[in-house]
């Protein structure tokens, strides 16, 4: 019997004094290469889902901003370090923390864990981009929300 049609949602918690967004996921067969190891590009998908969910949980409505013609976020820089591989059927957790907030960008630190094992760490800069493709000032109330959850 289906009791809910709501998709999984992550949540914020404090870890070592820092507001951290937690997003859990499972590795499916489609995420792996022929050896059962997660294909490197799939980690980008995992981190994107976590960042999108983090924004939603912080009441930052990207879809509404886009529909109003304000713009949307685009990843402008990313630095990733792989520490250990994930495998088919692993339960993973993506931890995301807002590190720095600018007028037109936000810097987010992300880590992917399997239990206590760090698999990947990344530094991500997302720029707010106007419909014409140029950087634009992100909405003031978004900056305020980011600052509330920033490390």
Q: Tokens 């995301």 correspond to what residue?
A: 96
- At CB < 8 A and 24+ separation, what contacts does 61-70 make? 65/139, 69/131, 70/130, 70/136, 70/139
- Our answer to whether residue 61 is catalytic in this structure is no
Q: What pLDDT does residue 2 have?
A: 62
* Catalytic pick among 33, 61, 79, 89: 33
Q: In what order do the strands lie in the sheet with 91-101?
A: 11-15, 18-26, 91-101, 105-114, 117-129, 72-82
**pLDDT of amino acid 1:** 58
Each residue's pLDDT, cut to its tens digit, for the chain (151 residues) gives 567 788 899 999 999 999 999 999 999 999 999 999 999 999 999 999 999 999 999 999 999 999 999 999 999 999 999 999 999 999 999 999 999 999 999 999 999 999 999 999 999 999 999 999 999 999 999 999 999 998 7
CATH superfamily name and code, 19-149: Hotdog Thioesterase (3.10.129.10)
Q: What are the boundaries of each domain within the chain? A: 19-149
């Amino acid at each position: 019997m289906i009791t809910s049609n709501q998709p999984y949602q992550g949540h914020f918690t404090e870890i070592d004094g820092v507001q951290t967004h937690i997003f859990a996921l499972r590795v499916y067969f489609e995420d792996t290469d022929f050896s059962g190891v997660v294909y490197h590009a799939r980690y980008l998908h995992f981190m994107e889902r976590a960042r999108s969910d983090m924004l939603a949980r912080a009441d930052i409505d990207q879809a509404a901003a886009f529909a109003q013609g304000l713009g949307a976020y685009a990843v402008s820089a990313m630095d990733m370090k792989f520490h250990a591989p994930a495998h088919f059927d692993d339960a993973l957790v993506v931890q995301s923390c807002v590190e720095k907030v600018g007028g037109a960008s936000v810097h987010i630190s992300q880590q992917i864990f399997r239990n206590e094992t760090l698999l990947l760490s990344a530094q991500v800069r997302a720029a707010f981009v106007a419909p014409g493709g140029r950087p634009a000032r992100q909405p003031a109330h978004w900056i305020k929300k980011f600052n509330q959850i920033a490390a």
